[in-house]
């Protein structure tokens, strides 16, 4: 036995504890007066505030959730590590379809709340008919969609089991009857025909979330990539990543545990509201659920259109040489990428008809850092419409359909006064120099493109100006 073993090896002693107050003081010092809440707290579409870090103290009061083993009530940690690969599932007709809410645009909280409300209503109806809760509860299958918000989707499945267990317990069955059986299905609403291999990456992270969240069965939906790869994702997670060997590997994570509790609390609030208004069926018939989901969907669509929410290859980081293909079977309607796909297809049709793709010149002049940053921004922004993009400091030799000035704010007016009188193409400015907008417009600038621009509206207006058929 070594001397270290004899004395006891305590690595923690080498790292003295640091109080939260000390961490906070260091953070505020680094912020140098910047607003902590605005800079570091993430306000999600669910209405939750996600902190920049979590510590053990954030789990205070969650002992009933955290101090349990997999398979114990309230089943936050699931019951097993393995899951069924269900690539061609026969989903029961009477399943509670949270996945449909997901595809319609519901937030994680809404998907949990409305699925719970439907499940409880069905359970209550069975109990009223004389079916014991021990038999009725396990007979209600649940299907949840899994999107690409990685940690939220892990926490969502954990929160679903927690909520269902607490709700079913009110009917007095045995403990195991309170466990929710979850069939997870990867989403289609966030997939695209643009840069389709990114769909494979999205499906992989979604399958990871489902597995780590403890689903009982999983369907990976392929979208413009081979079906066999969808099946292979699950095989790799099992046979190579060995995710079927450990139950609830996310358990104990301060962030995941706190997020699980936050989602459950928020969903429970909505569930109680639905229950107080007469239950799921009445809320659905009144249009209240559809209206709430539609509001969330519209907010998400606006975030994608304004590029506050990124779909790689669709509204940011597009493949500038790609030609997209929509000649296959009809894709599910309502996907977030559809407005950008329509932009690309409109440009492609115009190019096929006229024999040339509209060209955008990024005219780079002046301050090196600003012109490079704004040119890069425009590459990503304008590339979403499928235009040809060239970059040059010389506007007189480049035949362009649109010219975008890429420089610094102080240099824009002189540049616009030089360029606008000498060109026929509309001239845009990359940036939002608020103090100079009137002067720039007077000099001939036709518009502006910046981080607050709605990409769909802006690029569609450019296509209109170039005479493209809708």
What are 425-453's pLDDT values in tens digits? 999 999 999 999 999 999 999 999 999 99
Domain shared by 296 and 370, yes or no: no
Per-residue pLDDT at 268: 98
CATH number at residue 367: 3.40.50.280
Domain shared by 242 and 97, yes or no: yes
Domain shared by 263 and 137, yes or no: yes
Domain shared by 301 and 400, yes or no: no
Domain shared by 209 and 61, yes or no: yes
Q: Structural domain tally of the chain?
A: 2
Domain shared by 198 and 64, yes or no: yes
Domain shared by 123 and 167, yes or no: yes
Domain shared by 71 and 166, yes or no: yes
**301 in a structural domain:** yes
**4 in a structural domain:** no
**135 in a structural domain:** yes
**362 in a structural domain:** yes
In 90-149, the DSSP E strands lie at 96-97, 142-146
Distance CA 171, CA 76 (A): 19
Report the candidate in 222, 232, 234, 228 with the shortest Cα–Cα distance to residue 197: 222
Least confident of 134-148, 149-163, 384-398: 384-398
Report angle CA 9, 14, 20 to the nearest 5 degrees.
130
What are 81-109's pLDDT values in tens digits? 899 999 998 999 999 999 999 999 999 99
C-alpha distances in Å from residue 30, one per residue of 27, 40, 53: 5, 12, 15
Domain shared by 446 and 377, yes or no: yes
Relative to beta strand 96-97, strand 84-85 is unpaired
Domain shared by 349 and 298, yes or no: no
For 401, the domain range is 338-465
pLDDT-based confidence at residue 175 (cuts at 50, 70, 90):
confident
CATH number at residue 226: 3.20.20.240
Out of 305, 328, 363, a domain closes at: 305
Domain shared by 241 and 282, yes or no: yes
**325 in a structural domain:** no
Per-residue pLDDT at 1: 43
**405 in a structural domain:** yes
Contact between residue 194 and residue 385 where contact means Cβ atoms under 8 Å apart: no
List Cβ neighbours of 18 (8 Å cut-off, separation of 6 or more).
none
**421 in a structural domain:** yes
What are 229-264's pLDDT values in tens digits? 999 999 999 999 999 999 999 999 999 999 999 999
**82 in a structural domain:** yes
């Amino acid at each position: 036995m070594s001397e270290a073993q004899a004395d006891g090896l305590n690595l923690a002693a080498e790292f003295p504890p640091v109080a939260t107050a000390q961490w906070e003081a260091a953070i505020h010092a680094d912020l140098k007066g910047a607003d902590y809440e605005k800079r570091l707290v993430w306000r999600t579409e669910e209405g939750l505030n996600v902190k920049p870090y979590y510590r053990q103290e954030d789990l205070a009061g969650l002992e009933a959730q955290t101090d349990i083993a997999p398979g114990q009530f309230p089943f936050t940690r699931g019951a097993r590590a393995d899951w069924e690969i269900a690539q061609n599932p026969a989903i029961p007709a009477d399943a509670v379809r949270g996945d449909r809410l997901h595809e319609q645009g519901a937030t994680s909280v809404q998907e949990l709340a409305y699925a719970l409300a439907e499940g409880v209503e069905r359970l209550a109806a069975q109990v009223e008919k004389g079916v014991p809760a021990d038999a009725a509860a396990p007979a209600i299958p649940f299907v949840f969609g899994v999107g690409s918000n990685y940690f939220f989707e892990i926490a969502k499945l954990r929160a679903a089991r927690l909520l269902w267990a607490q709700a079913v317990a009110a009917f007095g069955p045995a403990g195991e009857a309170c466990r929710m059986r979850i069939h997870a299905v990867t989403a289609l609403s966030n997939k695209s025909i643009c840069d389709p291999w990114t769909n494979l990456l999205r499906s992989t992270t979604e399958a990871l979330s489902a597995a780590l969240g403890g689903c009982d069965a999983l369907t990976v939906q392929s979208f413009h990539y081979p079906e066999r790869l969808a099946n292979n994702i699950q095989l790799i997670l099992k046979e190579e990543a060995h995710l079927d060997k450990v139950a609830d590997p996310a358990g104990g994570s301060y962030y995941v545990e706190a997020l699980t509790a936050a989602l459950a609390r928020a969903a429970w609030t909505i569930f109680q509201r639905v229950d107080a208004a007469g239950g799921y069926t009445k809320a659905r018939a009144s249009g209240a659920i559809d209206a709430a989901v539609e509001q969330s969907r519209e907010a998400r669509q606006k975030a994608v259109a304004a590029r506050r929410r990124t779909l790689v290859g669709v509204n940011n980081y597009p493949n500038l040489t790609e030609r997209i293909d929509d000649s296959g079977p009809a894709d599910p309607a309502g996907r977030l990428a559809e407005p950008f796909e329509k932009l690309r297809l409109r440009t492609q049709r115009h190019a096929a008809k006229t024999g040339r793709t509209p060209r955008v010149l990024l005219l780079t002049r002046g301050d090196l850092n600003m012109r490079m940053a704004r040119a890069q921004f425009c590459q990503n922004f304008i590339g979403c419409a499928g235009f040809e993009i060239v970059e040059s400091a010389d506007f007189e030799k480049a035949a362009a359909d649109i010219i975008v000035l890429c420089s610094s704010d102080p240099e824009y007016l002189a540049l616009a006064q030089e360029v606008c009188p000498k060109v026929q193409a509309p001239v845009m400015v990359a940036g939002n120099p608020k103090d100079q907008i009137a002067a720039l417009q007077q000099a001939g600038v036709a518009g502006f493109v910046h981080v607050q621009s709605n990409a769909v509206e802006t690029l569609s207006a450019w296509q209109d100006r170039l005479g493209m058929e809708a």
